[in-house]
A and B are shown apart, each in its own frame.
Chain A
Amino acid sequence: MIGELSLPMLIASVLAASAPLIIIALGETLAEKSGVINLSLDGVVLFAAMAAFVVAKETDSLLLGFLAGGCAGMLTGVIVGYFSIYLHLSQVAVGFALSLLCRDLAYFLGNPYSRIQGPTMLSSKLPFYDSLPSSLQIILSQPLTVWLALLLVAIIYYFFSFSKAGLNLRSVGENPAASFARGLNPAKIQMLAVLGGAFLVGIGGAAYSLSLKPGWGRPQGAEGIGWIGLALVIFGGWNPIRVALGATLFAFLQVSGIGLQDLFPGIPSQVFQTAPFPLMIFTLIFMHFSTSRSRKQGYSSSRLQRLAGKLFMSRAPKGLGQSYRQE
């Protein structure tokens, strides 16, 4: 146990804290699998969180709030997609500039809504809730976003591995010229992937301001999350399951940081709030080293290892970050 937290409480908090990050990282995975890096994540998360909170507050509807978050995300997706796919500009440059712009835009436009009460998504009761043992009750009483995040992991994994559209999307990320030769439209597919991904990032942002850290302010509490999401996708090997596991690990670090605070009163709480970020990034970098070694060992003929390889496969789409110009 960490500090005052009991195990069920710990699991419950980790699940809750990981949900928005999972959604955000899955959105980025979608875009990157098609070959486009959307580096604007950090700002977009805040922008969407602000838009979601403002709309939810004005309309008093959580659903409209989430939709607004998604649309705000998609709006930035239009810019990233248009600039990098159609104007062939550096994806890193566009993403970085947009990230800072969105962050400041969120602070500026959200200013009147700072530190006020708004609608909050509470944890919902499952139908068979009362018949469960109390520890499970604690774990399973979660807001809808948690279930959404878990569902999305399955959906995205299925989409990439088994659907025709997912295969087309992956093919564009690997070799856009060959996809074009086979009658696909790489630019269109990339644009759709970026828009879809940005929509998910927006939903993830909304999950912060409407559920995990309700309300708006400067700082909101979701600062830096976008960067973690990006790192998760890249070091998680563009694999939805690994990405989700990484997000859970980050949530665990954050939650246990809060728990550990009580054990070490000498260390200021700010250190505990910051610590998960470098810890996470260096954990990812470390994992990246160990997996890159095992990846070189080549292809295995055993069926089980094949399955494991498929579930946790990690490799960069070959066309990642380069814009494709039709001849």
Chain B
Amino acid sequence: MLAETTELKVLSATGLRRVYGVKVAVDGISFEVGQNEIVGLLGPNGAGKTTTINMVLGVLEPSSGTIRIEGVDIAANRVRALERTNFAAVYAPLPGNLTVQQNLRVFGLLYGVKDLTERIEALLDQFDLNKLRHARCGVLSSGEQTRAGLAKAMLNHPRLLLLDEPTASLDPATARDIRAKIREFVARDKVGVLWTTHNMYEVTDVCDRVLFMSHGKILLEGNPRTLPGEHGKETLEELFITVAREPLTLELG
């Protein structure tokens, strides 16, 4: 029974803790992301969201705790775990000295994508990058770079997708299109997504569940559409501000 439950989880983090010297960046958090589920990881700057994502991506070792991607322990089998993962983040743009198409080809090889040429063509279409395929990523606008980064993130049909503020540089119309594409991708491929953003409208629009982090801990978890009401708040933004400024009132209340 337990095995069945584990199989449904794309990501399982247990007792995840990260300490830098005396500073506790992530304080023993546990959470899961299921198939076909978009989980919002919310919290003020410095709450530990990016540290958490870095640990899931295997570029930062947890001080303690375990991370399993589709049941594969990343500490024990990093390569196998990361084959089924991908990510896009504003702080990790694609190399600016390669064109969009070149970057997709290089990363396609890194992720061992089958039928790579067809996959690249499909993604260039999907993210409206056809006209930019021969443009170096360094000369793209921030919105175009975001789309190129998302195309790279989808290359290997990841089972787990980590998105760190994926629409931060996009205009509202493009951001809406991108959200729709990600939702479509999630529904079609039964992907699990861990999504960080400061845009509360976006959270309500796309996330099935949210985790509110503050000072390295998960303080709240629930449906973004009902969570504010459960804590006596009008909106998710109001709840966010309370978590950021007065987390103790929530913990106690």
User: Do these two chains interact?
Assistant: no
Residue ranges of B at the interface with A (Cβ–Cβ < 8 Å): none
